[in-house]
Amino acid sequence: MVTSSAIPSIRDSHARDTFRDLAGLIRHEGLLDRRYGYYAAKISLTLLTLAGGCVTFVALGDSWWQLATAVFFAALFAQIAFLGHDAGHNQIFRTGRANDRIGTAFGAIVGMSYGWWMGKHTRHHANPNHEDDDPDLDIPLLAFTRAQLGDKSGFVRWTTRHQAGLFFPLLTLEGISLHWAGIQAVWRGEVKHRRVEAALMAAHVTVYLGAVFLVMSPPVALAFIAVHQGLWGVYMGCSFAPGHKGMPTYTDKTKLDFLRKQVLTSRNVRGGPWVDFALGGLNYQIEHHLFPSMPRGNLRRAQPLVRDFCARHGIDYAQCGLFGTYRHVLRHLRDVSAPLRSTKTNSGAEPGI
């Protein structure tokens, strides 16, 4: 199992200068400049595709062929969520206000609280794979470190014991989880623009359920919702998991400079333009974590510069193919949960951790 001990403690002025050199190279190449044309085209095409999907949805009416449109909308919702992610990192416009406004709109389309997600994702970027401070490691049904095993009991202990085999099935619940977490955050007043987000989420639920049950009979409508939300969750999980799961974790005892903290905990996914599109640019996880505000369209150009820079400075740079990264994730989950699958005592009770 990969643990925090795999990351050396480095935090000095030389390390800061090292990142400054890389940042200077990236700026010199113009890779932090806004890409207005790129995003204008991407957003326009995405919204046109959404409109076309809605027309098809209404035209099909009460038909089991609607399950095909459910698959289509699952993929489209993920693409819209990627645009919201880009807005959250100020990749689209120069000002935070403009990015937040369009990000909130994208969140409303897919039924997510933009404010809740921003808070969670900002903490993740500040402490990627930190065993205590990264919220993406805090998933009740799973364990990403051996230290998390001691907190598991009952049904959660069982899911953790079999987490490698259950990983992809559990992702079908990710879409519902994203909706519910946003609703809870808005209800508790944990977001900045509570009234706006509450109104937008209520509108999403009303329009979504109203359209589904007005156009289709209850059996078809329920099947549509299950396929749409389930596959959207799988798509989202499969897009975010490759970036960090199975990579080294660390604690406060490990002193890391910014460059190594972001690079050593992240993994890139190799592939052509289709992988860039399918994963929304998250396949360049290392470059994205080093330069979060870099427009998605520039990540491919930045990748060889960052890779070569890391090679010259002896910094491990992890990347593999799309299917290879899922093997790493599943192997890590299996290794972490191994103590829970150890031989049981004669009484049938599981041994202590």
Cα 97 to Cα 20, 93, 102, 108, distances in angstroms: 27, 9, 9, 17
The H or E element that residue 319 is part of is: strand 318-320
pLDDT at 5 exceeding the cut of 70: no
At residue 347 the predicted structure's pLDDT band, cuts being 50, 70 and 90, is very low
Q: Please state the rounded mean pLDDT for residues 225-247.
A: 95
Here the tokens at position 233 are: 């969750």
What pLDDT is attached to residue 2?
A: 37
**Mind listing the pLDDT tens digit for each residue in 114-128?**
999 999 999 999 999
Cα 89 to Cα 35: distance, rounded to the nearest angstrom: 14
**Mind listing the pLDDT tens digit for each residue in 129-139?**
999 999 999 99
pLDDT at 345 exceeding the cut of 80: no
Cα 185 to Cα 182: distance, rounded to the nearest angstrom: 5
Confirm if 229 and 173 have CB atoms less than 8 A apart: no
Q: Please state the rounded mean pLDDT for residues 206-216.
A: 97
Residue found by looking up tokens 């959250």 in the block? 88
**Mind listing the pLDDT tens digit for each residue in 181-190?**
999 999 999 9
pTM for the predicted model, two decimal places: 0.90
What pLDDT is attached to residue 4?
A: 40
129: nearest Cα among 302, 16, 260: 260
**Across all residues in the chain, what is the average pLDDT?**
91
Cα 231 to Cα 87, 159, 215, 227, 323, distances in angstroms: 23, 20, 21, 6, 18
What pLDDT is attached to residue 152?
A: 85
What pLDDT is attached to residue 351?
A: 39
Residue found by looking up tokens 């005892």 in the block? 253
What pLDDT is attached to residue 3?
A: 41
The letter for the amino acid at 11 is: R
Q: Please state the rounded mean pLDDT for residues 304-320.
A: 94
**Mind listing the pLDDT tens digit for each residue in 246-288?**
999 998 887 888 999 999 999 999 999 999 999 999 999 999 9
pLDDT at 12 exceeding the cut of 70: no
Cα 171 to Cα 139: distance, rounded to the nearest angstrom: 12
Cα 54 to Cα 124: distance, rounded to the nearest angstrom: 34
The size of the chain, in residues, is 353
What pLDDT is attached to residue 14?
A: 56
- Helix residue spans in the chain (DSSP H): 13-28, 36-60, 66-88, 96-110, 114-126, 154-161, 163-171, 174-187, 194-215, 218-240, 258-264, 273-278, 285-290, 299-312, 322-336
Cα 102 to Cα 89: distance, rounded to the nearest angstrom: 12
**Mind listing the pLDDT tens digit for each residue in 70-103?**
999 999 999 999 999 999 999 999 999 999 999 9
Q: Per mean pLDDT, which range of 119-123, 167-171, 349-353 is the poorest?
A: 349-353
* Angular region, 249: left φ>0, alpha ψ -120 to 50, beta rest: beta
Cα 300 to Cα 43, 101, 305, 338, distances in angstroms: 19, 27, 10, 37
Question: 150 by DSSP, 3-state: which?
Answer: helix
